[in-house]
Structure 1
Amino acid sequence: MKIALTKGTLSVPPTYFALTHAQKMSGANDGEFSFKFFTLAAKIEDPEIGIEVRDFAPLRRESISRRQVFFPAVLPLMARSIAAFEPQVIHQHFATWAGPAVSASRRAGSPLITTLHGADVMLAGRQPRNTMEKYQQRTMKAAATASARVLAVSEFLADAAIAGGFPKDKLVVHYQGIDTDWFTPDTTVVRERPQILFVGTLNDQKGILQAVEASIGLLGEFDHDFVIAGAGPHMAELRKLQSDHGHLKLMGRLDRTAVREQMRRATVLVAPSRLSKGAREAAGLVLLEAQACGTPVVAYDSGGIAEMVSPESGTLLTENDVEGLRRALLAVLADDVAARAERGAVARNFVVGHRSLAASVSELTGHYRDVSDPTA
């Protein structure tokens, strides 16, 4: 069965989630599924990606943001190329920029599945602020109408999608899951100093500045390093803070292997995502990745985050409770060896039992089979 994966843009890292299921499913079930990825503009910097990716905007040496000016011109070309692939299913990630997938679905007679990830749903639920947002809202309505099934990555997002006008009768919650055979603990790691880890975009929604504030507040009570992996608008401010606080370690954006290494070394992952510009975290795969590595998490109870955290080993706090964040981090840092091992084991067991990629792939396989042969 040929599956056309489609998305507006694709950057790897950090956007592994759009490819992980295809990587796992390729060659499985006696070669039942084959995949090709279609996107307007791609930037692939991880050589281990084994899925063929085709993009259409010119000037591939330029950044994706500079190539966006060409997107309207290449939409028809992308649609024709998807249809020419003759897929049995088209799977669109994000309902934005879904025009080529919708057109190809009609042209080739291929059923369409759309996975909602968060930013699309938030846009659907508000008044458009400019011409582009109006266009994307029309595109999302077309995707909702054309899709045989609409998948949401959390219960929180499914509820928001229904409120934003997506059809309830087509919506199914599909947790993305992470590869628990790849994200694993490493018992050989020697931790010289306790380490707090943050992985994500350095912006207001991810709450990085609040995490730094909590970390600085811990210095008089517990010596530690705070490793920050990511890029974003707060990088310059973080560099200034680093000059006064040497325990802050700015790593920049890391590939998946380097992120796993940091997760294995970390004592705790902090994820203080919060409401920003009307949006909250839809899910938070980084939380699952850390827990699969045996690293407990401390996070704000925001959006779909609670659905990604082991209730026995993780700690959830009210948004913007920086003092609570500091105390929760201190509690984990102060664990003795036995308590830390137990907390890590419970965290991993939650992911293996409830949020694994294997389970997610099994569900997605069922969706592909259902829509490609609805009479079966």
Structure 2
Amino acid sequence: MKKTLLLSEIFPPVKGGSGRWFWEVYTRIATGNVVVAAGQDDKSDEVDSISPLKTYRLPLSSWSWGLKSLTGLKYYFRALRAVLKVVKQNDIEVIHCGRCLPEGFIGFLISKIKGIPYICYVHGEDVETAATSRELSWIVNKALGGATRLIANSQNTADILLNKWHTDPAKTMVFNPGVDASLFIPAPPSQEVRSQLGWESKSVILTVGRLQERKGHDKLIEALPSIIERIPNALYAIIGDGERKSALHALVKDLNLAEHVLFMSELNDEQMIQCYQQCDVFVLPNRTVGSDIEGFGMVLVEAQACERPVIAGDSGGTSETMLLGETGFIVDCTQPQALAEKICDLLENDTLREMMGKAGRNHVQQTLDWPVLSEKIATEFNKL
């Protein structure tokens, strides 16, 4: 493998599916030839001190990634200068860009200045959002067009690249994110753990994800009155934080559902896995909001690894995380009643949940376990 720079603003300790993806893959394939240029965070030292990857923390954050504003121009000048310094210090031969914007455009600029090739990861929502702006579309087109490889996180994302951005099929490929199936493992029901989580003897519906509109927490909350009619002890456990937190709390209050909704945050990794293990069904009620889609849905893979049946919305690449009808279901989550019926059908059928859970675990181990995925992507990198 050539001397490689992974360039990504999102990287642990920053939370995010893409950052976890990069950590899991690059820590496994690193042979002393991978250097990371990541975004800055207050807790970076804790992660970097135990990382096998040499990591530089650079100013990669900005509220403007356009070129028409002074802020955007200053950002690219500052970020480009910092990345070029890392490239020079480490004799970098190829750059792996975590997103097409802004990292992919920085890679494009460096390729023009230094002649260094770059590949670009694409997550779906990034290119869909950029398509709404003529300025950002121009920048993304440059990033996509100059890359030697485009790595889409799902076939749905690849289809967006091929059909909407007209990328070269020969350099557009799909590599799914995955899960560490030796860490995310099933566990028997535990009243002690459930009590510690505040779940007791409830029938628990779990969602893990940032509190943003496309994740659809509001629609599941709206579905709860119908769920409670059939499952009186139903509890909706929500793990995450984000801009929709206040609105979701207000919705719970308006619907008088305080006893049936539990907002959970500040969980450590062990507690998070316990939530997956002890819930009865995992739901990601995502939907498309404007151009904002769910690129893949790693939380669905994590839940299946813990032998939980999953339900997700019909948006983006979520259907690619599961075996439809065997390990999970896709539902129109813009319709609370349809969501309620599918959830109740699962909660009322212990045998079906157990069967789907075991099938989900097997599915993940065979196709979406990090060692399996890392080997595949390392083989592709060695061709570059």
TM-score interval (norm. to shorter): 0.7 to 0.9
Mapping 1:1-376, distance limit 5 Å: 1=1, 2-10=3-11, 12-26=13-27, 32-42=31-41, 44=43, 47=46, 50=51, 51-57=53-59, 71-84=75-88, 85-97=90-102, 98-107=104-113, 109-128=115-134, 134=135, 136-162=136-162, 163-187=164-188, 189-190=190-191, 191=194, 192-222=201-231, 223-243=233-253, 244=256, 245-252=258-265, 254-311=267-324, 312-336=326-350, 338-371=351-384
| Cα distance between partner residues in 2 of 1:72 and 1:216 | 49
1:219 alignment partner, SS class: helix
Deviation at 1:220, TM superposition (A): 2.5
Task: Report the equivalent of 1:131.
Answer: none
Deviation at 1:151, TM superposition (A): 0.8
Give the letter for the 1:198 counterpart.
T
Taking a change above 3 Å as real, the CA distance of residues 235 and 33 of structure 1, as seen in their structure-2 partners, is same
How many aligned positions are there?
357
| Cα distance between partner residues in 2 of 1:296 and 1:213 | 21
1:279 alignment partner, SS class: coil
| Cα distance between partner residues in 2 of 1:27 and 1:236 | 39
Q: Answer 1 or 2: which has greater helix percent.
A: 2
| Cα distance between partner residues in 2 of 1:361 and 1:331 | 36
| Cα distance between partner residues in 2 of 1:364 and 1:330 | 39
**Contact 1:13/1:255 (<8 A) preserved:** no
Task: Report the equivalent of 1:61.
Answer: none
**Contact 2:11/2:20 (<8 A) preserved:** no
Deviation at 1:249, TM superposition (A): 0.7
Deviation at 1:285, TM superposition (A): 0.7
More moved, 229-238 vs 104-113: 104-113
1:91-147 Cα distance to aligned partner (Å, 9 max, x none)? 10110012332333455544311110123221343443xxxxx1x433322222321
Taking a change above 3 Å as real, the CA distance of residues 165 and 27 of structure 1, as seen in their structure-2 partners, is closer
**Percent of pairs with identical residues:** 22
Gaps (5+ residues) in structure 2? Answer: 66-70, 195-200
**Contact 1:91/1:114 (<8 A) preserved:** yes
The CA RMSD measured in Å over matched residues stands at 2.7
Deviation at 1:259, TM superposition (A): 2.5
Question: What TM-score does the superposition give when structure 2 sets the normalisation length?
Answer: 0.83
